[in-house]
Chains A and B, each alone.
Chain A
Amino acid sequence: MGRILEIDEIAPAFKRYVIHEPGIARRHRAGQFVIVLLHEHSERIPLTIADSDAVRATITLVVQEVGKTTMEMGALRSGDSIEVVGPLGKPTHIEDWGACVCIGGGAGIAPLLPIARALGEAGNRVVSILGGRTEELLILRPEMEAASDEIHYTTDDGSFGAKGLVTHALDAYIDASGMPAMVIAIGPAVMMRAVAEQTRPLGIPTVVSLNTIMIDGTGMCGGCRVPVGGQSRFVCVDGPEFDGHQVDFDMLMKRQRIYLEHEEIARRRFLEAHECRAVAAGG
């Protein structure tokens, strides 16, 4: 069991968890994830590792509360313990490519952070482009700024950085500085697809990190499979990172929605129970 040492809200519906997990902390490399189980009745959910500290023996997870399990996780307190298994998935392939553009959207900024750091440590010029709906959803700004040589922001509402999408910022970067050696994009599937479509004609290698439904996370169930280059690949053991130009994003997005109805039932049920508890507690 992993003990939660710290839990804090870093943005609306975004919480950061620092969890005591000596084994995972020691082995974690950029790009990897863990599977978390809150309790006996809970689902197993994959969460990318945002940071690790081998000395403190901790890993950091940044989790957006979107469904029942993530909301329930958000209601935990420091001192609580959860089941954590990992680190899973292949680490990011890090080399000194030259100029690397790291694009993060929404919750995707969290897994991008260790990758940006590792790229910087390997000698790359790290150019980060972070996008979100609005200013307060641009999470981990100080950390990303420290990990980047150059950073650009975009928001849908123009509340911070340039108004627009991360693809606009990538265009602007290429116009100003030329073609990067590598693009790494992590965020919602629509964002990763847009970036991949943009870089494909330019021939810029583009890595994306996929987030799918998983159960075991060790290649046993095949629930996470996605067509990549016409072949069925398992995100848990073959990924989570793949060549963005080869991923069938259309099928990925369809498969992400398999249990949408059930997720909604579970979410509503949780919220109702939660409100009842709040009322009973004299809220």
Chain B
Amino acid sequence: MARELTKKERLAIPRHPMPARDPAERICHFEEVAIGYTDEMAVGEAERCLECKKPKCVVSCPVGIDIPAFVNAVANGRFSEALAIIKADNTLPAICGRVCPQEDQCEETCVTGNKGDSVAIGRLERFVADYERQRGEIRMPKCKSPSGFAVGIVGSGPAGLACAASLAMEGHAVTVFEALHKPGGVLIYGIPEFRLPKAIVRGEIRSLEDMGVEFRCNFVVGATATVNELMGEWGYDALFICTGAGLPYFMGIPGEELIGVCSANEFLTRVNLMRGFDFPNYDTPVAIGRQVAVVGAGNVAMDCCRTALRLGCEKVICLYRRTRSEAPARIEELEHAEEEGVDFRWLAAPVEVLGNEDGIVTGVRVQKMELGEPDLSGRPRPVPIEGSEYSIELDSIIVGIGQGANPLLTQATEALKVDKRGCIITEEITQMTSIPGVFAGGDIVTGAATVILAMGAGKLAAHSIDCYLRGVPMVVEEEAVDDDEDDAGLAALIPSEPETRTQNGAH
């Protein structure tokens, strides 16, 4: 039974740091950096929760997890119960606990965090998911009896997995189509092992298979079969398109075709999906040389920087045209990259890739920037400083400045309406596209965003698809929350010793 603690006592407990491998050791391999809480740490951290009456953390969670309930269960040592509470809203907690930008979501609005440090909700989520997994006690959510409906899901990334889980629970027959040879989408090809062990993703996929979800890899919808065929002769009653933002952006500067310039997608796919770090035991090579620059400062760029270090690069430079405060990466990723020795050059924009006569990269020309007025994204616009250019010698450049909508499926599906950026247009509430019975969500609708937002879209789409199939109107739960005086009062109790954590613009 948990200790009875007063609110003051709870507030006096400092936030438990995440145990992590030593930077010098961890850059020699690909094992996970964050080790995870012990039982004691988890209980201690959970005891910091003030159990607000109208918890804002729940509202800030894209999938609406009952956070105070699960944290309370942790505080009482009931870890399996805690996981069951999370799983009611989130089928992939081991993944979300690791990759969600909690500082911009649940932890941002946590009342404890108003003056001190918020409760480490993400770490607790990860803890309970790992607790169950490590004990081999994974319990399957109960599925309703077969509905007789078949749903096809196009893409096996976070949106697809979340949607598949919810639909399977409703008793629908679910097939997930994946273009690559392994399911998991960005969780497999994009996010590196040291941040998200692939065994966890495989475990989640196996759970879905145990629930009856069928995965069909090496199947490119739009090429192997079209949307119309799937809805016609293949007999699917509904489709959910979640093909992600799989079209790498390049910078559009001279020299970008040179040998040694590659997209973050290509670099990460070679390493993560194709295991290029283990060449020649695996056949796909990856060659980036000793000095590398990564352009961009989002999560993908951080993954590239840290992967490059683990491949043995002597110098990894991160070029970003704004400052650390505007960097879109999760704060933990920035901190880990800094600890590991990435050389951050803030306010630096590449203007030309330099190469030799064999077409091989020799360096990059960089222009210094300063911050100006906010642009359309609300972030200060980087303004070039005339005459500030300088050159950096490099062996290769990895471009991690973002991805657009992959046009393969949309171009092959004439009736599907897309916007100017190539993103699929959907009805706001139902997520239905211009084709009846065909729904869409995740990055292919919003543009590149986060794992949890895609999962949220997948989960909501599943609800909408379920209503569509059963012919009932979709009910949207309103989770209106007013400012609660009691909770505001709690905040006043918090000792004012701020450890400022500003983090803007999580993409």
Contacts and interface: CB of A to CB of B under 8 A. Distances in A.
B248 interface: yes
Given A27-B224, A37-B181, A259-B285, A216 B259 contact: no
B284 A43 contact: yes
B56 to A, nearest CB: 37
A41 B269 contact: no
Q: Is the interface of B mostly helix, strand, loop or mixed?
A: loop
A88 interface: yes
Given A43-B283, A86-B220, A219-B407, A232 B274 contact: no
Interface stretch (A146-154, A239-247, A250-258): A250-258
Interface in B250-301: 250, 256-257, 259, 262-263, 265-266, 269-270, 273-275, 279-285, 287
Interface in B296-324: none
Contacts of A69: 283
Interface residues of B, number: 40
Interface string A32-76: 000001000111100000000000000000000000110000000
B279 A262 contact: yes
Contacts of A225: 250, 257
B246 interface: yes
Contact of A220 (B257, B269, B280, B282): B269
Interface string A69-104: 100000000000001111110000000000000000
B194 interface: no
A216 B408 CA distance: 12
Contacts of A88: 220, 223
A222 B250 contact: yes
Interface in B209-252: 217-220, 223-225, 246-248, 250
B407 A237 contact: yes
Contact of B257 (A23, A218, A232, A269): A232
B262 A223 contact: yes
B282 A41 contact: yes
Contacts of A261: 287
Contacts of A215: 266, 269-270, 273-274, 284
Q: Is the interface of A mostly helix, strand, loop or mixed?
A: mixed
Given A23-B224, A41-B282, A221 B218 contact: no
B283 A27 contact: no
A215 B267 CA distance: 10
B408 A219 contact: yes
A218 B359 contact: no
A24 interface: yes
A2 B104 CA distance: 46
Contact of B280 (A216, A219, A265): A265
A23 B248 CA distance: 28
Nearest to A43: B283
A145 B57 CA distance: 72
B207 interface: no
A68 B406 contact: no
B406 A218 contact: yes
A197 B88 CA distance: 65
B396 to A, nearest CB: 11
A222 to B, nearest CB: 4
Nearest to B283: A43
Interface in B358-403: 358-359
Contacts of B247: 219-220
Please name the 5 residue pairs, one residue from A and one from B, whose CB atoms are nearest each other, closest first: A262-B285, A221-B266, A254-B359, A85-B218, A220-B246
21 contacts: A37-B218, A41-B282, A42-B283, A85-B218, A85-B220, A88-B223, A219-B247, A220-B189, A220-B247, A220-B248, A220-B269, A220-B406, A222-B250, A227-B257, A251-B359, A255-B259, A257-B259, A259-B285, A262-B280, A262-B285, A266-B280
